[in-house]
Structure 1
Amino acid sequence: METAAAGALLAALDRFTVVPIDVGRYDTDTETAAQALRASSAQVARLADTGLPHVVDRERGPLFDYDDLMNVGMFCGTGQTVPELGLRFLMRFAVSPPASWYAPREWEIGVHPSTTAGGRREGTDDVGGPRITVRVPDLSAPGVELLDGPGPAPGHGSGSGDDFTAPLRHSGYEAAVRLTGAENTVRDPRIHEVWNDVVDALASRRVTYQTVPEPLRADHRRAWDLGVADCVVASRLLADRLRAAGLEATARRGYLLGLFGSDHAWCDVVEDGVHKSLDPVFAFVATVGDERGVAKAPDFAAACFGSRFNRLLPCRTDSAEPLVYFDGEPAPYWAMVGVGARPRRSS
């Protein structure tokens, strides 16, 4: 079985585009890579020998870009890697009854970003790590109601304005929110045309849906031209094209809530004075279904064209900017391991 798993990991290298060398962040060691891929250290070493980009540190050995590792996991097809399991878990709600996507739902959320790829916090004191800045929920967004917070967790840190900053161990915030979805349809043919172009590019594999590092997300047109996209890239591109067509549109970013949270982005377009959500990546994933270990959900895929879901918490951004920063720079993908939510307990 180990040989078959090793072969699956190696085969994944031909199914995605590695991170361009100029934006790569090679700081993930073999142990962390093995944990993420549910693989042995020897299997990770074979990935390096076969061509997975890396650098060799004299003390730590091969170091990889974490986004590349996530793509190996997503495309290997073993069904056991962290990204495969995470995607299946996060998308389970898509096969629930449609009414459950829209009804008011109360959440207790905690945003305390991890500072290491393995989910472990380095340092033992308040000044032992990066200064963390996090974006807070957008309380002006439709369907978002604050019940408690947000603010620094009790006894933790301080903040002001739109963001909260705090030393390493005293970072993030906790809050309770009520999210209410909305079932909407879209009529404008200009929106239909742009939506179909973006979703069809993903469905036809002209553009590969894969993990994209934050520096490349910031240059979303370059990413699309390279033939790669994630939710941030697709949503920014969608917003660009809708605005070019004369519509009011904004790329949004926030959290997909569940037992663990996920950074997610979508597009907001205004039609007849109503803000409607367009989620090309959700629509794509729900359409391809079992190809990525997610059950097909055609009704959900259709709802991604206009409807708002009660598991998506938008944060304050102008154009899907990063939600977490370390020392003023966008935090890596793995920082999101410190985000979680649960249904609010009845008082």
Structure 2
Amino acid sequence: MTVETAAADTLLGALDRFRTAPSDVARYDTDTTTAARALRAAPDQVARLASAGLPHVVDSARGPLFDYDDLMNVGMFCGTGQTVPELGLRFLMRFAAAPRTSWFAPRDWEIGVHPSRTAGGEAAEDPAAGDGSRKVTVRVPDLSAPGVELLEGGPFDEALHPSGYTAAVRLTGASHTVRDPRIHEAWSEVVDALAARRVVYQTVPEPLRADHHRAWELGVADCVVASRLLADRLRAAGLETTARRGYLLGLFGSDHAWCDVVEDGVHKSLDPVFAFVATVGDERGVAESPEFAAACLGSRFNRLLPCRTDSAEPLVYFDGEPAPYWAMVGVGARPRRSS
């Protein structure tokens, strides 16, 4: 049975499992061909999504145009195990099933941040090429963060870098626990809401991420929304905390957000979404790992590269505005080979 045949009805079955982007933040610019590639389905199956009620607009030349974030949620919730979102999450969380020591040991990475200029995957190459396309700027690694060491590349003197960059970094994790009851209370409020499905974990458009309280009230959250909300609650409790944002590194990089809280002078990481995903296990296509979920409350992992942000701001900009989610297609990372 081919993926195209298997996906025919399951794509439609995903429509009632997530909440589509509010009309005031949706961007209907992804055509059927691009959508089919991401969902590993035939174009006519994607067209059926429009007929079944997935919000879209119709362009006289390009046909139905969808919101890319809506399509990512179709892929995440369809359950075929073959879509790009499902395969990506499965790969990127595979390290949760590895031995605990592997989460923290120093690890060297080669990263390339050259955001895609189009939903079809055209990368942003040398800005000197002068192709007249949109101006791309990206956030650089936070070399002041604990456990981050630059091995090659840079300099990264400014928080925003033109076009893209290539670098090698060493990431060293750390195993920590948290004792402050205020942290535990705020943590439980956020993680329990996700686990109980009072708030649906799904892809959230960048404009809605920027209004994280609205997203939470709408009953949707991703890593950015959850981390910003957690940071707000910890700050209100009198704790020094920051919502962080960077890349989860693997064969490709994935935009990710988490919290940093200071306890007893030590910076400790709080990752509510990783904890949730590791708790629900196979439902999301990854192995259940209670030990990893527990480590998400305080520990720092060697696959998370923080970038220079103040409150989990976007990592990529087009002409000064936050880039769409599909820009992350142009972010790549792999373990660095020994010379």
User: Are positions 1:229 and 2:221 aligned together?
Assistant: yes
| Distance (Å, rounded) in 1 between the aligned partners of 2:310 and 2:123 | 30
Residue pair 2:186, 2:230 contacting (<8 A) in 1 also: yes
The letter of the residue matching 1:142 is P
Partner of 2:150: 146
1:200-279 paired onto structure 2 within 5 Å? 200-279=192-271
The letter of the residue matching 1:187 is R
Deviations 1:13-36 (A, max 9, x none): 000000000000000000001111
| Distance (Å, rounded) in 1 between the aligned partners of 2:283 and 2:143 | 36
The letter of the residue matching 2:215 is A
User: Are positions 1:102 and 2:104 aligned together?
Assistant: yes
In structure 1, stretches of 5+ residues that fail to align are 152-158, 166-170
* Corresponding residue to 1:129 among 129, 133, 140: 133
Summarize the Cα distance change of 1:123–1:27 in structure 2 as closer, same or farther, 3 Å threshold. farther
| Distance (Å, rounded) in 2 between the aligned partners of 1:329 and 1:48 | 28
The letter of the residue matching 1:164 is H
| Distance (Å, rounded) in 1 between the aligned partners of 2:94 and 2:314 | 25
Partner of 1:194: 186
| Distance (Å, rounded) in 2 between the aligned partners of 1:261 and 1:71 | 19
1:1-347 paired onto structure 2 within 5 Å? 4-121=6-123, 125-151=129-155, 161-165=158-162, 171-347=163-339
Give how far 1:118 is off: 2.1
- For the residue of structure 2 that corresponds to 1:259, the secondary structure is coil
Residue pair 2:269, 2:298 contacting (<8 A) in 1 also: yes
RMSD of the TM alignment (CA)? 1.5
Percent identity reads 82
In structure 2, stretches of 5+ residues that fail to align are none
- For the residue of structure 1 that corresponds to 2:145, the secondary structure is coil
| Distance (Å, rounded) in 1 between the aligned partners of 2:37 and 2:328 | 16
Q: State which drifts further: 83-92 or 119-128.
A: 119-128
Residue pair 2:114, 2:125 contacting (<8 A) in 1 also: no
Give how far 1:121 is off: 4.5
| Distance (Å, rounded) in 2 between the aligned partners of 1:69 and 1:118 | 14
> What TM-score do the two structures reach when normalised by structure 1?
0.94
| Distance (Å, rounded) in 1 between the aligned partners of 2:108 and 2:297 | 24
Q: Which consecutive segments of 4 or more residues in structure 1 shift more than 3 A?
A: 1-4, 121-125
Residue pair 2:114, 2:124 contacting (<8 A) in 1 also: no
Deviations 1:300-337 (A, max 9, x none): 11100000000000000000000000000000101111
- For the residue of structure 2 that corresponds to 1:150, the secondary structure is coil
